[in-house]
Chain A
């Protein structure tokens, strides 16, 4: 735990494989719980991690093995949660993908894009940068 004037948190890097997601979730859940953040927000954060890590695992590195990193921080004074996802795979800005049509009947529905829609709904800000060979997805949520 750091002093009260700055955000506390940590960084976790794993092989970009979907089977690493429960481990990442458990680390972040413990961190949020220690900071007194509600179970609802813990579960919503799990959803965000699941969506972003699974995208990195499935698409970022093709057949190659690569790494995915999550930096998680909580600033108590501002009640702000920061999540930053990084990978060094193919350059891809998910925020430019078309939004799904959520008004279609079941027969015409496709699930593409729903994950990001959920992420944008759960988090308050989501921003993409490509820097130093890394895809960087920075998000904040007011708690």
Chain B
């Protein structure tokens, strides 16, 4: 998995590519924890992300809970596979997806 970070003031975009799963989610979690301290608006661009397993959902949940207090988090460009995952796990109701 690769993460490209783009910072514009307190608006941060993380563009993820590859697979967010058990082996790659620790790297994503570290980046999220680092980013969250500087962001009031967090955008996650999933255009190039193939899929998310429950290990990745856990990090989305941590990020969402934190950003609910600090500002907002928006998830963009979600593919069909990941949309189904968000639907079946009910994450579609707790995440803001554009």
Contacts A44-B81, A50-B21 given; does A103 touch B54 at CB 8 Å: no
Q: Are A46 and B51 in contact (CB under 8 A)?
A: yes
Q: Are A117 and B88 in contact (CB under 8 A)?
A: yes
Q: Are B65 and A117 in contact (CB under 8 A)?
A: no
Q: A54-B55, A107-B65 are in contact. List 13 more A-B contacts (CB 8 A).
A: A22-B23, A40-B80, A43-B81, A44-B51, A47-B21, A47-B51, A102-B88, A103-B93, A106-B61, A115-B53, A117-B88, A118-B89, A121-B84
Please report the C-alpha to C-alpha distance between residue A37 and residue B85 in the assembled complex, in whole angstroms: 20
Please report the C-alpha to C-alpha distance between residue A13 and residue B90 in the assembled complex, in whole angstroms: 34
> Least Cβ distance of A38 to chain B in Å?
11
Please report the C-alpha to C-alpha distance between residue A43 and residue B52 in the assembled complex, in whole angstroms: 10
Q: Are B19 and A106 in contact (CB under 8 A)?
A: no
The A-contacting residues of B in range 76-92, CB under 8 angstroms, are 80-81, 84-85, 88-90
Which B residues are CB-close (under 8 A) to A115?
53-54
Query: Does any Cβ of A come within 8 Å of B50's Cβ?
Result: yes
Contact flags A106-120 to B (C-beta < 8 A → 1, else 0): 110101001101100
Contacts from A to B (Cβ < 8 Å):
18-19, 21-22, 40, 43-44, 46-47, 50-51, 53-54, 100, 102-107, 109, 111, 114-115, 117-118, 121
Which A residues are CB-close (under 8 A) to B55?
50, 54
Which A residues are CB-close (under 8 A) to B65?
106-107
Q: Are A118 and B23 in contact (CB under 8 A)?
A: no
Q: Are B22 and A21 in contact (CB under 8 A)?
A: yes
The A-contacting residues of B in range 38-86, CB under 8 angstroms, are 50-55, 57-58, 61, 64-65, 68, 80-81, 84-85
Q: Are B21 and A46 in contact (CB under 8 A)?
A: yes
Which B residues are CB-close (under 8 A) to A50?
21-22, 53, 55
Q: Are B51 and A43 in contact (CB under 8 A)?
A: yes
> Least Cβ distance of B33 to chain A in Å?
17
Most buried by B among A47, A107, A115: A47
